[in-house]
Amino acid sequence: MSIPIPQPPSIPFIGNVTALDKDVPLNSFALLAKTYGEIYQLNILGTTIISVNSYALANELSDEKRFQKQVAAGLLQVRNLLGDGLFTAFNDEPDYLVAHRLLMPAFGPMAIKGMIEEMRDICDQLVLKWERFGPHATLDPADDFTRLTFDTISYCSMSYRMNSFYSDKPVPFVVAMGDFLAESDLRASRPRILQAVLGKNAKYHEDIKLMKDLAEQVVAERQANPIDKKDMLNTMLHQKDPQSGRKMSAENIARNLITFLIAGHETSSGMLTFAVYHLLRNPSALRKVRAEIDSVLGNRPAQVDDLSNLPYLTAVMRETLRLTPTASKRGVTPLQDTTLGGGKYFVKAGTTMLVHVWNMHRDPLVWGEDVEEFRPERHVDGKFEKLPPNAWQPFGFGVRACIGRAFAWQEVILVLATVLQKFDLTPADPSYTLQLKQTLTIKPKGFYIHARRRTDNQ
């Protein structure tokens, strides 16, 4: 016999909407998990949403025979821009399947290794900026890492320079994107009738147009002036899907370029910022990672083969994404009516379910009682490989897992190795306690640092 899934008390007509913090829903989801445990459900404006927090249940949901990705709520609204692009496509859309097969090799480890010099080009701009600003300047790592990851994905995927480091303010695309994502999220928690009444439509569609125009302009420019380079744009323009023999349409190409720009920078910049935050709070981890970088690289620039030779830095990155996964949850749905936990909970086909990766990465049955501690040692000496299946899943799961994983990994390891090699970093406010900023992804809020060139200390 199944038992009812717990639900916090709800308000007639509105349901549990008010249970969620407007600015940082994650904080509410973390709190609800502490109160209700491995599973609970919310009623959001008439829709039931089931949240899963434990490793055991999340592992059960990581089975593509029973569950698949669901594009719902905020993500459904993001389709207003990205349509059937990789991130927001429904599972069976034909253009998705073509794009997925065609792009997998373009995001594979070999192709990504070939992008190291483009990545370094942008990384050097960050280093130069921090050197020029000097040790007394208050730096905003979330801001500069966003410049970096945005410029990197743009330069690598379509050989287009955003030049964010030459602008004091975020470039217009980033502003439009931020506003678009925030509004998409709000739309998901607002009855449809209010959309027009609130008068946010015009601005929403202007933002969409700005981003589409840029992508379409880049595609048209490339078609008019072909270049011989292995970037993702050329792959999409010229390759055929091996299975169907089809090429991607210009429209689908533009949607996927915008998808890369969006999916390819917020998560990585959040990860870089969290990594710096964790290292500055954990001096022994910082000392160890510094010693490793010095012994492997000395004073020379990191080469692509060095990046697989930095096990402690790798563990730092894994632990960063365990404790603070920047894509904190993913949506799935059961293909058929089913039960979870050995018959304990009944769930209807099509129900929206959230795997709260943030919470399952804190399951003491997998990680021990010190789950809130930042301890890269959890992942060294083969321990990472011996984790229970699907216990670490910051990049999602299955066919719909992150296509940009190898890209992000190389970018983040190169930047961390380079920055830690060159600078002594200190928090601007030593008493800073972590606060979160949530958009589609999570990053630290109000975290500032100083960066002193190590050569200035000698």
State whether residue 425 is helix, strand or coil: strand
Residues in 11-70 at the binding interface with ligand MNH, rule: CB under 6 A: 69
Q: What are phi and psi of 190, to 5 degrees?
A: -130, 130
Residues whose CB is less than 8 angstroms from the CB of residue 193 and which lie 6 or more positions away in sequence, other chains included: none
Radius of gyration of the chain from Cα atoms? 22
Q: Find the catalytic residue in 402, 407, 441, 447.
A: 402
Q: Find the catalytic residue in 29, 145, 395, 423.
A: 395
Instruction: Tell me the two tokens of residue 264.
Output: 């390819």
Q: For the window 92-131, what string marks contact with ligand MNH as x by the rule CB under 6 A?
A: --------x-------------------------------
Please say whether the beta carbons of 115 and 109 come within 8 A: no
Q: Catalytic site residue 267?
A: yes
Angstrom distances, CA of residue 55 to CA of 170, 367, 379, 400: 38, 10, 17, 19
The single residue among 120, 187, 278, 330 that binds ligand MNH, judged by CB under 6 A, is 330
Q: Find the catalytic residue in 88, 267, 333, 441.
A: 267
Nearer to ligand MNH, 437 or 454 (CB): 437
Instruction: Tell me the two tokens of residue 150.
Output: 């945005």
DSSP-derived letter for residue 67 is: E
For the CB of residue 4, give the shortest distance to ligand MNH in the complex, in Å. 27
> Is 394 a residue that touches ligand MNH (CB under 6 A)?
yes
Q: Which stretch binds ligand MNH (CB under 6 A): 40-48, 57-65, 325-333, 334-342?
A: 325-333
Q: For the window 148-177, what string marks contact with ligand MNH as x by the rule CB under 6 A?
A: -----x------------------------
Instruction: Tell me the two tokens of residue 338.
Output: 């089913």
Half-sphere exposure of 403 (CA within 13 A, CB side): 25
Nearer to ligand MNH, 15 or 235 (CB): 235
Q: Catalytic site residue 180?
A: no
Residues whose CB is less than 8 angstroms from the CB of residue 258 and which lie 6 or more positions away in sequence, other chains included: 81, 82, 85, 211, 212, 215
Q: Each residue of 287-304: b (16+ CB within 10 Å) or e?
A: ebbbebbeebbeeeebeb
Kindly provide the residue ranges of all beta strands, DSSP E only, lying in 387-431, ordered along the sequence. Answer: 423-427
Q: For the window 248-277, what string marks contact with ligand MNH as x by the rule CB under 6 A?
A: -----------xx--xx--xx--x------
Q: What are phi and psi of 353, to 5 degrees?
A: -125, 140
Nearer to ligand MNH, 358 or 447 (CB): 358
Instruction: Tell me the two tokens of residue 342.
Output: 């050995």
Nearer to ligand MNH, 103 or 297 (CB): 103
Q: For the window 276-295, what string marks contact with ligand MNH as x by the rule CB under 6 A?
A: --------------------
Largest CA-CA distance found in the chain, in angstroms, rounded: 70
Q: Catalytic site residue 402?
A: yes
> Is 408 a residue that touches ligand MNH (CB under 6 A)?
yes
Q: Which stretch binds ligand MNH (CB under 6 A): 221-229, 273-281, 300-308, 391-399?
A: 391-399
Nearer to ligand MNH, 64 or 306 (CB): 64
The single residue among 296, 402, 415, 451 that binds ligand MNH, judged by CB under 6 A, is 402
Q: Which stretch binds ligand MNH (CB under 6 A): 32-40, 161-169, 359-367, 399-407?
A: 399-407
- How many Cβ atoms are within 10 Å of 455's Cβ, its own excluded? 10
Strand partners, 331: 354
Nearer to ligand MNH, 7 or 239 (CB): 239
Angstrom distances, CA of residue 363 to CA of 195, 284, 366: 39, 25, 6
Instruction: Tell me the two tokens of residue 104.
Output: 């997998």
CA end-to-end distance (rounded Å), the chain: 70
> Is 404 a residue that touches ligand MNH (CB under 6 A)?
yes
For the CB of residue 43, give the shortest distance to ligand MNH in the complex, in Å. 22
Which positions lie near ligand MNH, rule CB under 6 A? 69, 86-87, 100, 153, 259-260, 263-264, 267-268, 271, 326-327, 330, 394-396, 400-404, 407-408
Residues annotated as part of the active site: 267, 395, 402
